[in-house]
């Protein structure tokens, strides 16, 4: 037998509480994981590509935000001046002269443009008509840029998870492959702490990928010219950050779970790529298709034809005559021209009321269908965290369909206010000696300028449609990850 020439003292580990041990293990695993990743060129490659894309997305969004805010501010000012300086004219002529109003663009919408590019940014307010929105950036874009709309939101919702998959598929599967599990098990390594530390590193790397985009937008925001159209901008920002952290946390948990259950790194990578494609590409697309099937929308031509048909057929053809006779009796005169009020104004107001009822019915139906579509899509958020976070992100940024409908309603209220003010002015001023009343700048400026502010977030709706599904999916993924850790601790070593 060999002689013992190298005595070593066996020293038992000092006893520490389980909590302290867990945190020390977490810290150790965190530190070791950072060190390993810092020394791995593949991490730098993924991170570099991701950050480059984020920088492009951020710059694109930030520059678009800046130019759009400037353009809309200039256009709104020009419209305001055009309206105020239109000169003396009959108020109804002014009502047809019309005015454009512009949708305000928030900094958050630069992070997540949502439906902004497709729904139009301005509308012409005129008598008798609720016009469609115009100036849709998507229509002005060349085909190539329609293929890939790179935005910070897309980066976080779609690209960050796949980057996390590439960086984290071996989170536990590699331990199994390199034969580390027996050592970890016999040393009672807190695998939960190990997994949590590595998951947090993954989330940090994913957030680092999106960082350049966020910085570019924040920079433009600081030098921005437009006031934020939110009363609750802070809450929206917090919601956005928490939503994405929860989303990336869901992915980190999912990656840990799949990696823990997979026999090899290759199997883990294959499964995770499949899950990524399913959750970020297939389910969101399928949800949109199913929603369109569940609540189909008329084509714009069909919709316009129905509105025009309804406008052309008054629901009570005798109403005008009865109203005129009642007015003549009220003022005890025989002819309309002897009335102390201008019949034209009253008639125009009645026409507007009829139009308003038609618009309320048709647009109401259209908005209800859009709402049902949004509800159907939100339901898919119980299956896919990408759907849930996209809804949350759009709502927080004020760039979702519901926010746009709010703006349409607000613009329509402004149109009705203009028409009411102008028609009232006509009504108050009957023709004198064949001379029609002419409105002037005082009348034009009596109409308050249009200033849209988004309604505060509806937290109960957000909770029901996005936060609960997202939280539920996070908990489910976390549960799977914990089961995976148990499997590592107690299951087969292979």
Partner 1 sequence: MIEIDNLTKRYATHTAVDGLNLHVAAGEVYALLGPNGAGKSTTIGCLLGFVTPDSGTIRLAGSTLPPAQAAVRHAAYISENVALYDKLTGVENVEFFMRLLGERPSRRHIESLLARAGLPPHAWHRLSQGYSKGMRQKVGIVMALAKGARVLVLDEPTSGLDPEASVSFGELILSLADEGAAVLMATHDLFRAQELAHRCGMLVAGHLISEWNLGELNAGELERNYLDTLAVRV
Q: Is 442 in the site for partner 1 (CB under 8 A)?
A: no
CA 216 – CA 298 distance, rounded (Å): 40
Applying CB under 8 A, which part among 83-91, 104-112, 188-196, 430-438 lies near partner 1?
A: 188-196
- 61 phi, psi to nearest 5 deg: -65, -40
Work out whether 305 is an interface residue with partner 1 (CB under 8 A).
no
- Closest by CA to 132, choosing from 309, 298, 303, is 303
Burial class of residue 136 in the structure, from the number of CB atoms within 10 Å of its CB (0-12 exposed, 13-18 middle, 19+ buried): middle
Query: How many residues line the site for partner 1 (CB under 8 A)?
Result: 45
Per-state percent for the chain, helix, strand, coil, to nearest 5: 70, 5, 25
Counting contacts by CB under 8 A, is residue 301 touching partner 1?
A: no
In the sheet where 99-102 sits, what is the strand order? 99-102, 122-126, 129-130
Reduce the secondary structure of 342-370 to three states and give it as a string: CHHHHHHHHHHHHHHHHHHHHHHHHHHHH
Compare residues 332 and 494 and give the one whose CB is closer to partner 1.
Answer: 494
The DSSP H or E segment spanning 102 is: strand 99-102
Work out how close the CB of 265 gets to partner 1 at its nearest, in angstroms, rounded to a whole number.
14
DSSP code of residue 315: S
330 binds partner 1 (CB under 8 A): no
Q: For partner 1, which residue of 85, 140, 187, 315 counts as binding (CB under 8 A)?
A: 187
Give CA angle at 363 (358, 366), nearest 5°: 135
Per CB under 8 A, 1 contacts partner 1:
yes
Q: Would you say 27 or 96 has its CB closer to partner 1? A: 27
* 189 binds partner 1, rule: CB under 8 A: yes
Distances 304 to 29, 299, 338 between C-alpha atoms, Å = 63, 9, 40
Residue of 20, 225, 309, 368 that binds partner 1 (CB under 8 A): 20
Query: Which CB, 38 or 332, lies closer to partner 1?
Result: 38
Residues from 192 through 211 that contact partner 1 (CB under 8 A): 193-194
The yes or no reply on residue 180 touching partner 1 (CB under 8 A) is yes
Q: Any contact of residue 21 with partner 1 (CB under 8 A)?
A: yes
Q: Quick one: 144 exposed, middle or buried, by C-beta within 10 A (0-12, 13-18, 19+)?
A: exposed
Q: Is 10 one of the binding residues for partner 1 (CB under 8 A)? A: yes
Site string for partner 1, 38-77 (x = CB under 8 A): -xx-------------------------------------
- In which region does residue 188 sit, left (phi positive, over 0), alpha (psi from -120 to 50) or beta (all else)? left
Based on the shown chain and the rule CB under 8 A, indicate whether residue 281 belongs to the binding site for partner 1.
no
Asked if residue 231 binds partner 1 (CB under 8 A), the reply is: no
The CA distance from 353 to 361, in Å, is 12
Distance from C-alpha of 292 to C-alpha of 310, rounded to nearest angstrom: 25
- Which residues are CB-neighbours of 403 under 8 A, at least 6 positions away? 114, 394, 395, 454
Q: What gap in Å lies between CA 253 and CA 244, rounded to an integer?
A: 14
CB of 14 to partner 1, least distance (A): 7
- d(C-alpha 114, C-alpha 153), whole Å: 9
Residue among 472, 462, 278, 292 nearest 377 (CA): 292
- Binding of partner 1 by 322 (CB under 8 A): no
By CB under 8 A, tell whether 6 contacts partner 1. Answer: yes
Instruction: Rank residues 316 and 490 by Cβ distance to partner 1 and give the closer one.
Output: 490
Q: Judged by CB under 8 A, does residue 142 bind partner 1?
A: no
Q: Choose the stretch contacting partner 1; rule: CB under 8 A; options: 17-25, 294-302, 315-323, 398-406.
A: 17-25
User: Which tokens in the block code for residue 177?
Assistant: 């492959």
Residue span binding partner 1 (CB under 8 A) among the ranges 29-37, 64-72, 85-93, 394-402: 29-37
Q: Which of 56, 75, 184, 218 is close enough to bind partner 1 by CB under 8 A?
A: 184
Residue 34 is a binding residue for partner 1 (CB under 8 A): no
The C-alpha atoms of residue 390 and residue 401 are separated, in whole angstroms, by 12
Can residue 490 be called a binding residue for partner 1 (CB under 8 A)?
yes
**Shortest Å distance, C-beta 34 to partner 1:** 11
Question: x/- string (CB under 8 A) for partner 1, residues 374-413?
Answer: ----------------------------------------
User: What's the CA gap between 229 and 278, in Å, rounded?
Assistant: 36
Nearer to partner 1, 16 or 297 (CB): 16
Q: How far is CA 458 from CA 357, 363, 369, 466, in A?
A: 27, 22, 20, 11
Alpha-carbon 491 to chain mean position: 43
Task: Work out whether 435 is an interface residue with partner 1 (CB under 8 A).
Answer: no
Closest separation in Å from C-beta 114 to partner 1: 41
Write down the least CB distance from residue 185 to partner 1, Å: 7
> By C-beta, is 29 or 346 nearer to partner 1?
29
Is residue 31 within the footprint of partner 1 (CB under 8 A)? Answer: yes
Instruction: Give residues in contact with partner 1 (CB under 8 A).
Output: 1-14, 16, 20-21, 24-25, 27-29, 31-32, 35-37, 39-40, 178-180, 182-190, 193-194, 490, 493
């Amino acid at each position: 037998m060999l002689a013992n020439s190298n005595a070593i003292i066996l020293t038992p580990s000092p006893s520490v509480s389980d909590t302290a041990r867990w945190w020390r293990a977490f810290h150790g695993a965190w530190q070791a994981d950072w060190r390993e990743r810092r020394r791995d060129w593949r991490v730098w490659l993924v991170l570099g590509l991701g950050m480059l894309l984020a920088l492009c997305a951020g710059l694109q969004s930030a520059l678009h935000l800046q130019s759009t805010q400037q353009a809309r501010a200039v256009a709104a000012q020009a419209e305001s001046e055009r309206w105020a300086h239109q000169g003396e004219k009959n108020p109804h002529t002014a009502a047809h002269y019309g005015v454009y109003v512009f949708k305000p663009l928030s900094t958050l919408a630069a992070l997540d443009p949502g439906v902004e590019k497709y729904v139009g940014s301005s509308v012409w307010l005129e008598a008798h008509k609720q016009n469609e929105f115009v100036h849709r950036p998507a229509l002005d874009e060349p085909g190539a840029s329609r293929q890939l709309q790179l935005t910070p939101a897309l980066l976080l919702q779609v690209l960050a998870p796949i980057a996390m998959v590439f960086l984290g598929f071996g989170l536990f599967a590699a331990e199994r492959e390199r034969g580390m599990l027996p050592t970890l098990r016999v040393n009672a390594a807190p695998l939960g702490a190990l997994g949590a530390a590595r998951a947090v590193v993954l989330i940090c790397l994913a957030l680092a990928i999106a960082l350049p985009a966020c910085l570019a937008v924040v920079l433009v925001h600081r030098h921005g010219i437009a006031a934020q159209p939110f009363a609750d901008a802070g809450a929206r920002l917090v919601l956005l950050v928490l939503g994405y952290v929860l989303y990336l946390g869901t992915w980190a948990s999912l990656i840990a779970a799949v990696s823990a259950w997979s026999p090899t790194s290759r199997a883990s990578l294959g499964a995770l790529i499949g899950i990524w494609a399913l959750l970020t590409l297939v389910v969101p697309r399928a949800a949109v298709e199913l929603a369109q099937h569940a609540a189909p929308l008329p084509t714009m031509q069909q919709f316009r034809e129905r509105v025009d048909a309804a406008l052309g057929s008054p629901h009570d053809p005798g109403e005008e005559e009865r109203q005129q006779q009642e007015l003549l009796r009220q003022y005890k005169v025989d002819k309309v021209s002897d009335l102390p009020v201008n019949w034209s104004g009253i008639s125009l107001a009645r026409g507007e009321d009829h139009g308003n009822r038609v618009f309320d019915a048709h647009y109401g139906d259209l908005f209800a269908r859009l709402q049902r579509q949004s509800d159907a899509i939100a339901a898919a958020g119980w299956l896919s965290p990408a759907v849930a976070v996209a809804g949350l992100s759009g709502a927080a940024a004020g760039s979702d369909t519901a926010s746009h409908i709010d703006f349409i309603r607000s613009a329509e209220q402004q149109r009705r206010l203009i028409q009411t003010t102008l028609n009232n002015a006509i009504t108050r001023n009957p023709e004198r000696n064949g001379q029609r009343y002419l409105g002037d700048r005082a009348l034009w400026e009596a109409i308050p300028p249009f200033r849209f502010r988004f309604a505060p977030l509806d937290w109960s709706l957000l909770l029901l449609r996005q936060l609960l599904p997202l939280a539920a999916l996070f908990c489910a993924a976390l549960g799977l990850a914990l089961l995976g850790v148990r499997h590592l601790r107690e299951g087969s070593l292979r």
